[in-house]
Amino acid sequence: MSAFGITLCLVWAFFEGPATTVSARPPSPSPPSQQKRQSRAEAEKIDVRIAGEVTRGKIFQQEIGHDLVFRLAPSADSPDIGWKIEIAPKKDPGDGPIEFSAVATPPYRIYNPRYLEASFGNSAKDAVKITPRVFYFVQSVDDEHRAEECLNVAMYPTNVSDEEKVRVVAEQNDIQLGKGELRILKSHIGRGRTLSDAGTIDYLRFEVEVEFSPGLTMANILARIAHPQ
């Protein structure tokens, strides 16, 4: 075979040899905590996720869509004890300020997840240990008024006629609720001046997830009053 033929065979053998594939390094997997949050967000159809921080006596407020705002609001009477979780309209109605989570978040008239504060016998240290905190809210002024009426009938049924009870039961099933979950990520606690002092929450870092359509109604909430676990 001529030198040209040998060269041609070698070139042909080179191109016909086994193929090699160069693969890029696979992306690093997300941290387990992030994967958990992502999977839960997909499963629960979380609409809004916000993160923030707040210091003692200050208010945190952020718009969350649907003409609503999320707030951590210090008490007007005792701003140093902590905050209440609130959902409110961006603009107060003409008849005065209104808040949408108090009427929909049980238990009522005692310490509940909305109270991120040292109150009802809980110290500041106790308060920040309660995480996550799940709360519920109506989404309009009209629904707040209707939900309040439903709540009053559920808590004081002897004051209502049978006809009114039937109407209110129908109202309960018609009032759609949103759902929120606040997780405390970091906190600083201030010592009380005396042994009996509950202390103060001087700093808080947190994140909040909000669902506007979790498939809950006021009837689901009021059923907990009739059948507490």
What was the pLDDT predicted at 64?
97
What was the pLDDT predicted at 18?
39
Integer CA distances (angstroms), 105 to 64, 115, 151, 191, 221, in order: 19, 11, 11, 30, 8
What was the pLDDT predicted at 193?
60
Q: How many CB atoms lie within 10 A of CB 52?
A: 15
List the one residue out of 36, 83, 29 whose CA is nearest residue 61: 83
What was the pLDDT predicted at 34?
55
Sign, CA torsion 142/105/222/178:
positive
> For residue 119, how many C-alpha atoms fall within 13 Å in the half-sphere facing its CB?
19
User: What's this model's pTM, rounded to 2 decimal places?
Assistant: 0.78
Question: Structural domain boundaries of the chain?
Answer: 34-226
**Mind listing the pLDDT tens digit for each residue in 112-143?**
999 999 999 999 999 999 999 999 999 999 99
What was the pLDDT predicted at 191?
79
Q: Give me the residues of the chain with pLDDT under 70, please.
A: 1-44, 192-196, 226-229
Q: How many CB atoms lie within 10 A of CB 4?
A: 8
Question: Residue 215: CB partners within 8 Å, gap ≥ 6?
Answer: none
CB neighbour class for 166 (10 Å; exposed up to 12, middle 13-18, buried from 19) = exposed
Angstrom distance (rounded) from CA 144 to CA 163:
22
Integer CA distances (angstroms), 144 to 39, 87, 141, 153, 197, in order: 32, 11, 5, 14, 36
